[in-house]
Amino acid sequence: MLRSENPFIREDDGWVGHTLTVQGKVSAVRYEEENHMVGALDGIKVLDFTHVYSGPFCTLLLGDLGAEIIKVERTVGGDPIRTDAPRTEGMEGGTFIILNRGKKSITLNLGDEKGRDICRTLVKGVDVVVENFTPGTMDKLGLGSQDLCKLNPKLIYASVSAYGHTGPRRDDIGYDPVAQAMGGMTSVTGFPDTPTKCGVAMADFSSGLFTALAIVAALMHKSKTGEGQTIDISLQDCIWLLTSIEFSPYYFLEGRIPQRTGNGHPTMTPGSLYPAKDGSVIIATGVLGQIQRLFRLIGGEDLVNSPLCSQQSERIKYKTEIDALVAEWTKTRSMEEIVNQLKDIEVPCSMVPTFDQVCNDPQLLSREMIIEVEQTVSGKVKTPGSLFKLSKTPGDVKFPAPFLGEHNLEVYSGILGYTEQEIAQLVNAGII
């Protein structure tokens, strides 16, 4: 439900709001939560030029671990996914909220030299810069890694792009589906006659994850040496790494093109989606003991002592026969009956829940993986919780995503020392 009260001042739930009004418009709001837990990256300042998925996921993770994320957005519209559907009644994009919780939003016109000068000043006071533009974009603005690292030699400058900053495809534009294809994932996903893109934006989110990991490593190096460095992460590289672990040995060791196996696993057998009387179940046997217990249940000792229950290197030759044998057993039973029987003998198995069932899963709820954040305009919105369950410095994402320019006052006044009159002049000139 859209909040009916004034959306720009909130003093409930431990939050206090401060506003700056320029010519009758609210230009900035600052919210501070009392008594929040200090994260592992507390004190690290990140200037975030990213947009859409890959970069924002990287900085979300850094913010989850305690870093201060200052998200730099266009003066008009901001991040392109701010209002993407599905949206709240307050017209805030659901995915934008998830990827930008807890960040500070400032607006800055990098197309203007004054805006670029302000950016350079900001860079001198941060630890990390992250951007996910096409290679060369920031260089043309005079804000590339070489330019900014001269201003701040201890700066960690991270770039995420489709193909990276080197190589013959350096300048090519690419998005997640293209990277999935070019990294080999699409060729091994789907059924034998139909390649399929992964439903999740794996290239975007894996590159964001690996960039965050690289930044943490660079921060560790900096803590030892005082040196900054540049980071160059490619969506294609990330997908290739993930795909190659299981599938490249077929090609490099045996000279074979790996085949698509549908819902089956390339090396695990039994391991697939099997039919039940009232739906389907996933069975995944990772070790020989589990296979022996499963085969004993469905076929007795003769099956346990057959070649179908041998070591993986031999058993994989009988994959089609094994899957047929397991399916013959599962299709005569209900999903609940199968899951309960296999749980009793400690064989990994699950029904295939619908998405609404996942959203109400007691396991996820018990681990606070589904939480609510209080959006300034939209009120309470459900989002994923933090997966960082650290005993001393757990992740914390129970913060709202900012509205566009929400922290202009805090950053331009509090950090750069601009007066309200100077900020008003920058607003009127279209600089912020």
Q: What is the DSSP string of 375-401?
A: ETTTEEEEEE------SSS-----SPP
| Residue of 275, 261, 279, 277 whose CA lies nearest to 320 | 261
How far apart CA 16 and CA 424 sit, in angstroms, is: 23
Domains of the chain: 15-242+364-428 (3.40.50.10540), 271-357 (3.30.1540.10)
What's the pLDDT score for residue 355? 96
Q: Which region, left, alpha or beta, applies to residue 263 given φ > 0 means left and ψ of -120 to 50 means alpha?
A: alpha
Query: For this structure, is 344 an active site residue?
Result: no
In the set 79, 204, 323, 396, the catalytic residue is 204
What's the pLDDT score for residue 36? 57
Residue entry with tokens 């400690």: 346
The three-class DSSP label of residue 253 is helix
Identify the segments of the chain with pLDDT beneath 50: 1-34
| Residue of 334, 338, 238 whose CA lies nearest to 283 | 338
